Amino acid sequence: MGRILSTEAGNNIGQIGRPIRAATTRLQGQASAHGD
């Protein structure tokens, strides 16, 4: 039971984390572009 719940939680975190990671990468790219 606990394993199934933790797997579902991991999937939810993964779905949330993906766009956050993409946004962070985009912001870092803009920051380095401004730095140059």
Give the pLDDT of residue 36.
56
User: Measuring CA to CA, how many Å separate 30 from each of 8, 9, 17, 18, 25?
Assistant: 34, 32, 20, 19, 9
**Section 8-32 average pLDDT:** 86
Give the pLDDT of residue 2.
65
Give the pLDDT of residue 24.
92
pLDDT in tens, 6-18: 888 888 888 888 8
**Section 3-31 average pLDDT:** 85
